[in-house]
Structure 1
């Protein structure tokens, strides 16, 4: 059995100690990741996933927006201090990918293919997961760490205003990425007999 893909998947971990010591150029990274997302399959070839790449001041601005917005969500100053520390770890990264779904495409498909209308939003989410995983694995294969964050929907309007995001793009996730400054911890797996069935 060829285990090349399995080995790549095992490289992909949630890395929280991220830095800016990335060897690849921004241009090469963006070109690679755009191609990866383009090659990710979508139902009806709908291509509903959108991505915004943030570097430098724009990357910093995102995480400043997040930490400021979260201040009203945490119950105590001590809790907010922990939140600030967590967000600072994302801001320390080299860049961030913002993942969006183009809801205009989803709604058009619902209109055009009424038999499957109830499925298109779900299929768009599946496309998101596929694109995010493919980008994540690709970065891991190039020695770049990442994690996947979900501060949407509480930051949606602020992000849209800050980065001139079209109204029909709905924020689905944020992926800070950068050099791996410390490895991921150990990973636990549930018992296979509780997760899988093989029937003859």
Structure 2
């Protein structure tokens, strides 16, 4: 019997809490930050609801490609960052050795992989830390030159709306912050760039 897989799969739109859960954030011994992004950030196949047995319903979702327009200097900084620019292994660790598996296809690499990592680091920050980052640079001006990068990833609209509402409630002046004036994709790009500048001061 064929599996019930609708032609139009529901897009993966996680909440802010979900982005901070173990499904999206993994511990990494070989990372300076101690964390890395989980496969739900980059999975191209169907993300099945637990127990669906591939009889997909509305809670089975799929990541889609989104275009992130990052500044030229941020793109150059990521490309020039020392160390590997992709996953070291295609093996995905599970709770037990029997539940680990090798992910098919080419290992994620390049700017898309690096941007998923930066997004993971950004959303792993507590809300109040993001608030302070914005408050300390209220006169922030985005750079004009941009590089468009196609990234298979979750839709961050819901998470950004939740974060925005929290920030504005904590400090109403943040409603007018230049980094938060546009929709979720430009907003996360500006937040990543601000976070990068703090992590890597000149």
Q: TM-score if structure 1 supplies the norm length?
A: 0.30
Higher helix share: 1
